[in-house]
Structure formats: structure tokens, C-alpha cells
Amino acid sequence: MLLLLLGLWLAAAAGVRAEDYLYTTNDGAITITNYTGAGGAVSVPATLNGLPVTGVGDAAFANCTSLTDLALPASVTNLGEWVFYACTSLTSVTLPAGLPSLGTGLFYGCTNLGAITIPAGATNIGESAFDSCAALASVIIPDAVLSLGDTAFEYCTGLTNVTLGAHVASLGAGVFNGCLSLGAITLPASVTSIGIGPFSYCPSLAAITVAASNACFVSVDEVLFDHDQATLIQCPGARAGAYTVPADVTNIADWAFSSGSGLTSITLPAGVTRLGDYAFESCTALVAVYFRGAAPDLGGDNVFSGDAQVTVYYLPDTGVWPDHVAGRPAILWNPQVLNDAALGVMSGQFGFAIGGSSGVVVVVEACTNLLAPAWVPVGTNALTGGASYFGDPAWTNYPCRFYRLRGL
């Protein structure tokens, strides 16, 4: 009797209760289909009724909000989809080293999962596998992993550091979308495929770096492009101020500048023929986008979604432009210094009138040496009604001063 009671106590202490699990048997192996226990710290048994536990089925632990810690035995080689969906109290997980992949939605919504060790032999991290794991702070992707599925780490808002393994070939669409705390990312030489908006809504992201030996992608000034620099894939969300897109770019990808809330102006080269949908979405400080070429094709109606201040400017002799581009006003950018009575010294200051399309905003810059110019802004003028006057009260402080006009 004492031995029986001791055996029952040991079984309870180890958390091994067959009645806590529903399961199916196939070819002498067990797949758990549902967990019915009380939660807390759970160690899934390696055997049930004398048969090995080799799998955990779809959504087997889903919505188990009382589950706090989980350990899976080495015998488990297959995990289904959405297995731990919305286990909001789960803080730690031990996965078997031989697990070959992490399936779709595996830990979706496990908001308190603070750390995870991905098995060294896993080759795939499925779609939305860690979506909305808000407490996850750091992730190391093992070298064996070949692909990260769409939105695999989406809305991991506490994620600050990601190390990608040396053989990752594919990054899915929106793979790190909404990772608000991610500060930098380095893509290894192995990456050959990237979905749209891989780092959209990452407002802390300051740098995207690509290994120099990568044959498909490149980073220029910490912005991500395809290797030929024809497509701008992603501008880091922390980029601020004015940005000039490199001359070879022809395509701005979907979500390329999304949530770039510090950007104030963007200049696009003459070769740009397409703006992707949501390309500048939620660039809330953006006031001007300058086009050096013809009106582009649009990937959708939401190119400037959420951008209440932006104006599109285009140059003369660049073809026919509509009055609006994706809902934002388009204005001919043609300011020039007028050679009229306002040019010269008036009321103790040197100045001139600027003419052009009504609504154009012009920054006046000055320097003192055209051989080694150091241009500094000295005024901002809005051409209300198509004209504005610029005056420089500090002109007498310099032996000579030169002026030029530029956009914001």
C-alpha cells in the first residue's frame, strides 16, 4: 500500500497524468490532440499508456491561459499548427532538439513568452509562428533554418535583437512587421528571397545591413534594395529628415517607407515608374515628395495613407501630371528668382522675389564660396498666390554671399 501511494505521489509530482490529455494512436505512436489539465508548469510525458508521444496536434493547448511553463520530451518530432495559440500566461518553453520545424501560428498570441530557444535542427519557422509574442526580447535563428514564414515575428513589440542564421534563404512578407523595439538587423549572404514589407512598422529600426557577399540584396546608407538597386525594398523606420532615393531606383516597393514618422521630405529620381501600395503609409511628418521624372504608376490607392500634410511636386517638361497623386495634391515645382524691382537692397537688407506655382514651399540657402560651398538654409518661403519675398538682414556680415533655392 505504501509503495502504491508513493508511486501515485511521484506521478502527480512529475505532472504525468494520462487523464490530462486526449490523444490518437497511429502505428504505435501517440499524438496529443487536446490538453485538459489544470495548467501551471507542465511537462508533457514521453509515453502514455506505454506508447511513445511523438506529436502534438493542431491547437492542442490553444487558449490554455493557465499554462505557465511547458517542456516537451525528446520523443516529439511533430508539432501541428496553432498548438499554443493565445496561451497568454506561458513564460517559458523547452522544445525538443530534434524538432524539424515550427508550424503556422505555433505561439501566436503568447504575450508573456519572454525567451525561446529554437531547436538547432529546425529548418523552417512557419507563418505567424511567434506573431504577437509581445514579451519576446531576443531571438537567435539557428544556422539550419532555411525560411521564416510570412509574419513569423509580427508584432513582437518587445523584440530588440535578432540574429539570423548563416543559411536563412527566405524571409516572408511582414516577417518582422510591427516590431516596435527592433533597432537593427543584419541579413546574411544566404538570403535570396524577401517578401513585401519585411520590416514595416519598425519605428526604432535605424539600420538594415546586408552581407557584402549577398548576390540578391544590398544595403546602401542602411536602406535595403535588391542587388541592382532597381527596387527600394525597405527604408528603416527610424530614418528622419530629408532622404534622396538613389538614381538607379525604378520601383518603390509596397510598404517601403511605411511608418517613417521622422521623414520630412523624399526626392525620387527620374527613373521611378512605380510607387507600391502603402509605400509612404503613416509617414506623419512627411510634407513633400519631389519627382524628377514622369508621373508614376501606383500599386494601389493607399500610397500616402495617413499622410495628411504631404504635397507631391513635379518638374516642368516631365509629361502630363494629374492634380492629385493617390489623393494628395500635385504641384508643378518651378520656383525662380525674379529679376524685378524687388531684387537688391531694400529697407536695409538684401533680398529678391521668388515666383512659381502657388503653394510651392522653397528653402533659400546661402554660401560664401562657390569653389568650396557650404550651403546653409537662411529662409523658408511659401509661394502664396505664386510669389514670395526673401530678405537677408545678415547680408552685411559677409564680404560676398551666394544664394540658391531648393525644396524642403
| Residue 348 banded pLDDT, cuts 50, 70, 90 | confident
Q: Which residues contact 50 (CB under 8 A, 6 or more apart)?
A: none
The per-residue pLDDT of the chain, averaged, comes to 93
How large is the average pLDDT for residues 156-160? 98
What is the spatial distance between Cα 24 and Cα 140, in angstroms, rounded to a whole number? 34
Give the percent of the chain with pLDDT over 70.
Answer: 96
Q: What are phi and psi of 100, to 5 degrees?
A: -80, -20
How large is the average pLDDT for residues 267-272? 97
| pLDDT confidence of residue 7 | 32
How large is the average pLDDT for residues 257-264? 95
| pLDDT confidence of residue 174 | 98
| Residue 17 banded pLDDT, cuts 50, 70, 90 | confident
| pLDDT confidence of residue 19 | 86
Sequence spans of domains, the chain: 239-333, 336-406
Cα 192 from chain centre:
18
Of the candidates 103, 127, 114, the one whose C-alpha atom is nearest the C-alpha of residue 157 is: 114
| pLDDT confidence of residue 3 | 29
| pLDDT confidence of residue 408 | 83
pTM, two decimal places: 0.89
Give the percent of the chain with pLDDT over 90.
Answer: 93
pLDDT tens-place string over residues 19-49 = 899 999 999 999 999 999 999 999 999 999 9
What is the spatial distance between Cα 317 and Cα 242, in angstroms, rounded to a whole number? 24
Cα distance between the two ends of the chain: 87
What is the spatial distance between Cα 194 and Cα 185, in angstroms, rounded to a whole number? 14
Burial class (CB in 10 A: 0-12, 13-18, 19+), 264: middle
| pLDDT confidence of residue 267 | 97
What is the dotted CATH code of the domain comprising 336-406?
2.60.40
Residue 14 has pLDDT above 50, yes or no: no
pLDDT tens-place string over residues 103-155 = 999 999 999 999 999 999 999 999 999 999 999 999 999 999 999 999 999 99
Residue 104 Cα distances to 68, 83, 275, angstroms = 21, 9, 31
| Residue 16 banded pLDDT, cuts 50, 70, 90 | low
Do 171 and 193 touch, CB atoms closer than 8 A? yes
Do 374 and 333 touch, CB atoms closer than 8 A? no
What is the spatial distance between Cα 300 and Cα 316, in angstroms, rounded to a whole number? 26
Residue 380 has pLDDT above 60, yes or no: yes
Q: Which residues contact 32 (CB under 8 A, 6 or more apart)?
A: 21, 22, 23, 44, 53, 55, 56, 57, 60
What is the spatial distance between Cα 109 and Cα 345, in angstroms, rounded to a whole number? 67
What is the grid cell recorded at 47? 509515453
Q: Which DSSP letter does residue 8 get?
A: H
| pLDDT confidence of residue 336 | 94
